[in-house]
Structure 1
Amino acid sequence: QLNTLTRRAAPRLRARPQVGPMIAAQLLVTVGQCPDRIRSDAQFARLAGIAPIPASSGKTSRMRLHRGGDRHANSAVHLVVIGRLRKHEKALTYREKRRAQGMADKDIIRAMKRLVARELFYALKADLKDLDHTTKNASHTP
Structure 2
Amino acid sequence: AELTAAKLLGESAGITRFGTEAQFARHAGVAPVPLWSANPGRHRLTRSGNRQLNAALHRIALTQARMPESLGHTYYQRKRDGGKTKRDAMRCLKRRLARVVYNNLTLDHHNRTTPQHDAA
The TM-score with structure 1 as length reference comes to: 0.71
Correspondent of 2:28 among 39, 48, 60: 48
1:61 aligns with 2:41: yes
Residue 27 of structure 1 deviates from its aligned partner by 1.5
Residue 118 of structure 1 is matched in structure 2 by: 99
2: CA distance, partners of 1:59 / 1:113: 22
The CA distance in 2 between the partners of 1:46 and 1:83, in whole Å, is: 22
- 8 Å Cα contact 1:31/1:38 also seen in 2: no
Runs ≥4 residues deviating over 4 A: none
RMSD, aligned α-carbons: 2.0
**Residues of 1 paired with 2:99 and 2:3: CA distance?**
19
> 5+ unaligned residues in a row in structure 1: which ranges?
1-19, 138-142
Alpha-carbon distance between aligned partners in 1 of 2:29 and 2:2, rounded to the nearest angstrom: 21
* TM-score normalized by the length of structure 2: 0.83
- Write out per-residue CA displacement over residues 8-46 of structure 1, whole angstroms, 9 at most, x where no aligned residue: xxxxxxxxxxxx21111111112224x421121001001
Deviation at 1:133, TM superposition (A): 4.3
Given the superposition, is the C-alpha separation of residues 77 and 41 from structure 1 closer, same or farther in structure 2, using an over 3 Å criterion? same
Equivalent residues, number: 115
Partners of 1:125 and 1:52 lie apart in 2 by: 22
- Partners of 2:58 and 2:43 in 1: CA distance: 17
The percentage of aligned residue pairs carrying the same residue is 33
Answer yes or no: is 1:73 the counterpart of 2:53: yes
Write the distance in 1 (CA, Å) between the matches of 2:104 and 2:39. Answer: 39
Whole-Å Cα distance in 2 between the matches of residues 108 and 79 of structure 1?
15
Q: Which residue is 1:14 aligned to?
A: none
Whether 2:71 is the aligned partner of 1:90: answer yes
Tell me whether 75-84 or 95-104 shows the greater mean CA deviation. Answer: 95-104
Write out per-residue CA displacement over residues 42-92 of structure 1, whole angstroms, 9 at most, x where no aligned residue. Answer: 010011111111024444531111211110000001111100011143222
Structure 2 gaps, min length 5: none
